[in-house]
Amino acid sequence: MKETLRYLAGIAGPSGYGSKSTAEQVSQDCCSSVPSHLTAIITGATSGIGAETARVLAKRGVRIVIPARDLGKAAEVKDEIQRESPKAEVIILEIDLSSLASVNRFCSEFLALRLPLNILINNGGVFSQTLEYSEDKIEMTFATNYLGHHFLTEKLLDKMVETAAQTGIRGRIINVSSVIHSWVKRDGFCFNQLLNPKNYNGTRAYAQSKLANILHVKELARHLKARNARVSVNAVHPGIVKTGIIRAHKGFITDSVFFIASKLLKSTSQGASTTCYVALSPEVEGVSGKYFADCNESDCSNLANDESEARKLWKQTRQLIHRLLYQPTA
């Protein structure tokens, strides 16, 4: 109850920020400590909190790389960013996160540019009300929200470690998750069922993908620490934001309930604040393997904190990616 009241009132936590803080405010306060010539890749940056994150980071002098399936939308975002920040550098490259082959092509194209990589924000996501499959024959929500981002991070990790070693600036990876991850129970998180569910439910699939995002953070943080890499990885819950995903649910609830619920929703700028905070704040320097909400470190579910579950998911994911890419079926 106390946390709910804190959220509604926008009371600041230990970081000095709270649920009402905006990306503009957070990044402005970090401005003096943001190193120059940073490069960030932001998935899902053609709309919603991804586009707002790209706009705000560009305003603070960060070079932005937008991986996009819809190149037209990406071009519109680039134009909007450069109208506000004429000196901003924005690079657009094509990607379909649900396709491992497409992710692989994107990484090859980005690495060929020989740019540094300081920040990777795995923000892109889909919510599907009906059961769909990717070209790799994986359930679409899981393929896009988790599997594609896992592979993207794997392919770009050496570049991030190299950049951090050469510049002395710690790299930061951010997985955008959701508080909805806590809805998933242990007996409802079976890898094979995530890939090919028998009884599909869109909300459940979305929650499962967001739990997987956090487990990815937990295990990757352990690997990075073991190799003494100057790269950190954290998960964030942006809050319930007025985005396309929320609008897709509107038809399933009454107008009156939606009106009440809408009062609890964050604006896009408020939703992007935690991502920007974790990406830029000196207070998060060296912090890894954590979960943030409302610009403060927070608690995730017991299942999301389960080290053995994280290790198991990591192993199963790596085996699946290897099989799909290097041992394709006829």
Residues 92-136 have pLDDT tens digits of: 999 999 999 999 999 999 999 999 999 999 999 999 999 999 999
For residue 33, pLDDT beyond 80: no
Residues 144-178 have pLDDT tens digits of: 999 999 999 999 999 999 999 999 999 999 999 99
Residue 152 forms part of a structural domain: yes
Show the tokens assigned to 300: 């995730």
Residue 146 known to be catalytic = no
Residue 313 forms part of a structural domain: yes
Query: Global pTM?
Result: 0.92
Q: Distance between CA 282 and CA 35 in Å, rounded?
A: 10
Residue 257 forms part of a structural domain: yes
Residue 306 forms part of a structural domain: yes
CATH code of the domain containing 105: 3.40.50.720
Residue 117 forms part of a structural domain: yes
Residue 327 forms part of a structural domain: no
Q: Distance between CA 288 and CA 223 in Å, rounded?
A: 11
Residue 98 forms part of a structural domain: yes
For residue 217, pLDDT beyond 90: yes
For residue 324, pLDDT beyond 70: yes
Using alpha carbons, list the distances in angstroms from residue 64 to 110, 132, 141.
12, 31, 25
Domain of residue 226: give its range.
Answer: 1-322
Q: Distance between CA 85 and CA 229 in Å, rounded?
A: 33
Using alpha carbons, list the distances in angstroms from residue 244 to 74, 142, 202, 240, 271.
16, 18, 15, 11, 13
Higher pLDDT: 9 or 300? It is 300
Residue 25 forms part of a structural domain: yes
The pLDDT of residue 259: 54
- Structural domains of the chain, count: 1
Nearest to 250 by CA among 120, 129, 97, 75: 129
Using alpha carbons, list the distances in angstroms from residue 249 to 79, 238, 264.
30, 18, 15
Given the residues 17, 200, 206, 277, select the one marked as catalytic: 200
Q: Distance between CA 163 and CA 239 in Å, rounded?
A: 31
The pLDDT of residue 204: 95
